[in-house]
Amino acid sequence: MNNAKMFGAGVAMALVALMVFTAFTSVNAVAQTETKRVFVRATDYAGALDTSLTGWSSSGNAQWVVTTTNYYYGGSCAKSGTITHNQQSKLSVTVTGPGTLKFYWNVSSELNYDFLKFYIDGVEKARISGTTKVWEQKTYSITSGTHTLTWNYTKDGSVSKGSDCGWVDKVEYTGSGGGTTVSIAEAVDNTQLTWTTGGNVNWFGQTSVYYNGGDAAQSGAITHNQVSYVQTTVTGPGTLSFYWKVSSESNYDYLIFYIDGTEQTKISGEVSWTQKTYTIASGTHTLQWKYSKDGSVSSGSDAGWLDKVEFTAGGGGGTGTQRYAVIVGISDYKAISDLSYCDEDANSWYDYLVGKGYTGSNIMVLGDKTNSYHKYDGVASEKNVKTALNYYISQADEDDILVFATSGHGDKDSSTSQFLCMWDCDSGENGEDGYFYDTELANIIKNARCKVFIFTDHCRSGGIIPEISALSNAANIYMTTTCGPNGYGYDEPNYSHGAWTYWFLVSGLVNKGYTNMEDCFTWADSQYNPGGDDEPRQFDGNTGVKFTL
C-alpha cells in the first residue's frame, strides 16, 4: 500500500496521553560550500574564516590572503602567501583561555617536505603535507591565560608540488573570553550543588553558548574513543530539571544523562536547547552528564552543553503529579503486512518521555516479537494494550497524566468505524480479534480522571476523534492523529520514523523544544503539510489552557 499505514496497528502510551506513532529518519545536515553573497576584502581574515575572533595578523615572507576558489565553508577561506624555497607564510591570532578551538585545514604540497603546521605559543601541535587536498577538522583544548595560535606554511630547499600552499577555514573558538574563569556551578546556575568533572578532558564553564544567564558548561575537547563528564550528587525525593544541547556526529557521538550509572536518555546530531525533567526517588543519587565519542569521524562543534540545572527537594518519590504512559510500536505483525519504522517511533517516544519524568513501572512499551526496543514489556496484542491502559487509568487521579502513543497499521470497516491494528490483527489472541476500534478506545478513556494525551500514527485514525471528543471528560484530553478519517499515515524512509511522528515528536518536541502540544502541532503541521485527508488532525478539549506533558 505504498508504505501507507493503512492497516495501522496502534500503540498505547500511559501518561494520560494517547500517542500513536509512525516511523521517521532524521536527516544529517552537511556543512560544506554554503556560499555567502557578501563582498570579502583581501585581508578580511575573520570573514574568510567564519569566526568571531579578531586581531588576526600575517607575517613571514608573504602574507596570507583571502580566496574564494578553494574553501570548506561559507564561500571563502584563508590561503597562505606565495613563497619559494626556504620561505614561510604565517597567520596568527591571540585567544584567552580556557576554551576549545576547532578549525578546518587543507594543504597541497610536496609530500613530507613542504608543510602546513599549527602552533600554540610557538609549540608545534600538528602538521600536514601532500596533494590529497582533503579538508580535515582539528580540535584543541586551550588552557587558562593568553595564547597565540599560528598556522605556518613552510617550504624546504627544493621542489614544488601541487598548489604549493595551505588553507584554513571555519575557525571556531568557544572560551570564557577576557580571561574570566566561569566555574561549573556558576555556568549551570546552581551553586548549591557540588560539581566534579573528569574523563579524558574536563568540562568547563564558558560564555559563548548558553541557554540562561550568559554562561553554560561545555564538555572538554576530546578525540575518538574518549569521554568527558560532569556530575553531582543529590538527596531525594525531589525533582530535577535541566537544559542541554549537543552538536555531534549523529547516532555515533552522544551526550548522555545517567542516574546512579544507569542511562536515562541521550542526544546526538544537531539538537538545540531542550529541557529535561526527572523525578528523583528517596536516597542519595549521582547525576552524570557525559559526552562520548566513538572510534572515528567528528561533526559539528563536537561537544555537549549543560545549563540551568534545578533540583527541588521534596514532593518526589510518590507524591504530586504521577506520569503514566503506554507506548505501542508495531513493525512486524503476526498475520498482516509489515511496516518498517514503528519500533523506531516507540523508541523515540520512550526516550522523550523518560526525559520528561516518565520512568520505571509507570511507563509500558508494547511492540512486536522481532525488533529491538529501548524498553520492552511485551507484545502489543489488543488484550495487552487494553490491559495496560485500564491499569494506569485505575491508578491515576485528577493531578496525574496519562500518555497513549501508538504507531502501526489502521483502517475502517464498511460502517466507517475506524480501528487501530494491534499486533494480532486479523488473527486474534486471548479472546480479542486484534482490531482496536474507536468505540473500544473511547470506552476505556471515559474512565480517566487524569489528563490524557493521545497520539496516533495510523491510517484512518482521525476518525477516532469524534468518539473521544464526545466523552464527558473530554476537557481533560488532547489528541492528535496523523491524518483524517479517510487519510493515510506513512513510513518515511528519509527519517526512519513515521512521517507525523518525525515532525511532531522528533522535530517539534525534541529538536525545536516545544513544551505544549498545541504550539507543537501548529509548527509540525506547517512543516509536514501533506494536504487533503492526509493532513494531521487535533482535538483540544480545553482551548483555554495549553496541554503539557
DSSP-derived 3-state class of residue 474: helix
Q: Is the pLDDT of residue 179 over 90?
A: no
State phi, psi for 335 to the nearest 5 degrees: -130, -20
Nine-digit cell at 505?
515528536
Predicted pLDDT of residue 339: 93
Range in 173-177, 277-281, 393-397 the model is least confident about: 173-177
What single-letter DSSP state applies at residue 497? E
Flag whether pLDDT at 11 surpasses 60. no
| 246 membership: H or E segment, kind and range | strand 227-247
Reported as a pLDDT band with limits 50, 70 and 90, residue 429 is confident
**pLDDT score recorded for residue 537:** 97
CA angle 376, 514, 388 (to 5 degrees): 30
Band (pLDDT 50/70/90 cuts) for residue 191 is confident
In this structure, what C-alpha cell is assigned to residue 132? 590529497
Q: Where are the alpha helices (DSSP H) in 341-430?
A: 342-355, 382-395
Convert 409-471 into a string of H (helix), E (strand) and C (coil): EEEECCCCCEEEECCCCCCCECCECCEEEHHHHHHHHCCCCCEEEEEEECCCHHHHHHHHHCC
Q: Report how far apart, in Å, the C-alpha atoms of 334 and of each of 364, 387, 546 are.
A: 20, 19, 39
Out of 311-315, 362-366, 494-498, pick the least confident. Answer: 311-315
Matching residue, cell 530535577: 240
The angle subtended at Cα 285 by Cα 225 and Cα 241, nearest 5°, is 80
Angstrom distance (rounded) from CA 18 to CA 327? 8
**Residue with the three cell numbers 482490531:** 435
Q: Would you state the pLDDT for residue 285?
A: 93
CB atoms inside a 10 Å sphere around CB 152: 21
* C-alpha–C-alpha distance, residues 458 and 213, integer Å: 43
Report the C-alpha gap between 19 and 111 in whole angstroms: 59
- CA gap 180, 456 in Å, rounded: 51
Tell me if 332 sits within 8 A of 491, measured CB to CB.
Answer: no
Order across the sheet with 435-437: list the strands: 410-412, 418-421, 435-437
Q: Give the alpha-carbon dihedral of 416, 420, 424, 428, to 10 degrees.
A: -40
pLDDT of residue 444 exceeding 70: yes
Q: What is the CA radius of gyration of the chain?
A: 27
d(CA 122, CA 451): 63
Can you give the pLDDT at residue 415?
A: 66
pLDDT band (50, 70, 90) for residue 50 = confident
Cα angle for residues 335, 337, 340 (degrees, 5° grid): 125
Nearest one of 434, 436, 404, 402 to 417, comparing CA atoms: 436
- If we measure between CA atoms, which residue out of 199, 204, 229 comes closest to residue 144? 204
Where does CATH 2.60.120.200 sit in the chain? Answer: 45-175, 184-312
Residue 177: exposure state from Cβ atoms within 10 A (0-12, 13-18, ≥19): middle
DSSP string, 279-302: EEEEEEEEEEEEEE--SS---TT-
Q: What is the pLDDT of residues 498-542, one digit of tens each?
A: 999 999 999 999 999 999 999 999 999 999 989 999 999 999 999
pLDDT score recorded for residue 41 = 36
Give whichever of 14-28, 32-46, 333-347 has the largest mean pLDDT. 333-347
Least confident of 313-322, 364-373, 509-518: 313-322
The C-alpha cell at 104 is 578546518
Give the pLDDT band (50/70/90) at residue 106. Answer: very high
List, as one string, the DSSP characters of 245-286.
EEES-TTTSEEEEEETTEEEEEE-SEEEEEEEEEEEEEEEEE
Instruction: Look up the CATH number of domain 16-27+320-540.
Output: 3.40.50.1460
Identify which has the larger pLDDT, 390 or 414.
Answer: 390
Higher pLDDT, 451 or 412: 451
166 vs 215, higher pLDDT: 166
Residue 140 predicted with pLDDT over 70: yes
CATH code for residues 184-312? 2.60.120.200
Minimal CA–CA distance to 515: which of 141, 257, 241, 260? 241
Cα–Cα distance measured from residue 358 to residue 269, given in angstroms and rounded to the nearest whole number: 24
Gap between the Cα atoms of 61 and 149, Å rounded: 18
The count of other CB atoms within 10 Å of the CB of residue 131 is 13
- pLDDT tier, 17 (very low <50, low <70, confident <90, very high otherwise): very low
d(CA 177, CA 54): 12
373, three cell numbers = 526496543
pLDDT at 197: 92
pLDDT at 361: 83
Q: For the chain, where do the domains classified as CATH 3.40.50.1460 start and end?
A: 16-27+320-540
Domain 45-175 bears CATH identifier 2.60.120.200: yes
Arithmetic mean of pLDDT, 349-375: 91
- Across residues 112-137, what is the average pLDDT? 91
Report whether pLDDT(10) > 80. Answer: no
The pTM of this model reads 0.49
Cα–Cα distance measured from residue 170 to residue 182, given in angstroms and rounded to the nearest whole number:
25
Q: Which residue did the predictor score with more confidence, 428 or 218?
A: 218
pLDDT in tens, 222-279: 889 999 999 999 988 888 999 999 999 999 999 999 999 999 999 999 999 999 989 8
Distance CA 103, CA 49 (A): 9
Percentage of residues of the chain with pLDDT beyond 70: 89
Query: What value does the mean pLDDT of the chain take?
Result: 86
Q: How confident is the model at residue 28 (pLDDT cuts 50, 70, 90)?
A: very low
Strand partners, 79: 65, 167
| Residues making up the chain, counted from first to last | 549
User: CB–CB of 404/389 below 8 Å?
Assistant: yes
Question: Model confidence over 294-311: pLDDT tens digits?
Answer: 999 888 888 999 999 998
Bond prior to 536 in cis (omega within 30° of 0): no
Q: Which three cell numbers stand for residue 494?
A: 528519509
Neighbour tally for 377: CB within 10 Å: 16
Confidence of residue 76 (pLDDT cuts 50, 70, 90): confident
Contact predicate 89/61, CB 8 Å? yes
Task: Give the N- to C-terminal CA distance of the chain in Å, as an integer.
Answer: 34
